Amino acid sequence: MGEELEFVAIPVPDYVAFDVETTGFSPDDDRIIEVAFVRFENGVPVER
C-alpha cells in the first residue's frame, strides 16, 4: 500500500480566517455576495 503519513502540529498563535459566500460555483455566472473575517490572537477571536 501507500506510505504512512505523519502529521505534525505547527503552532500558529495569530491568524485571520476568511469566509466568502457566493451565489454559486461558476466564476462566469455567479458573484460574491459576502466576505467576512475573524482575527485570532493566541487562538482567541479578537476582531470580527
Q: Is-contact 38 14, C-beta < 8 A?
A: no
Please indicate, yes or no, if residue 28 is contained in any of the structural domains. Answer: yes
Please indicate, yes or no, if residue 2 is contained in any of the structural domains. Answer: no
Task: Give the pTM.
Answer: 0.59
Euclidean distance between CA atoms 23 and 33, whole angstroms: 7
| Residue keyed to cell 482575527 | 39
Give the domain extent around 23.
Answer: 14-47
The domain tally of the chain equals 1
Please indicate, yes or no, if residue 25 is contained in any of the structural domains. Answer: yes
Query: Per residue in 12-43, pLDDT tens?
Result: 889 999 999 999 999 999 999 999 999 999 98
Please indicate, yes or no, if residue 32 is contained in any of the structural domains. Answer: yes
Please indicate, yes or no, if residue 7 is contained in any of the structural domains. Answer: no
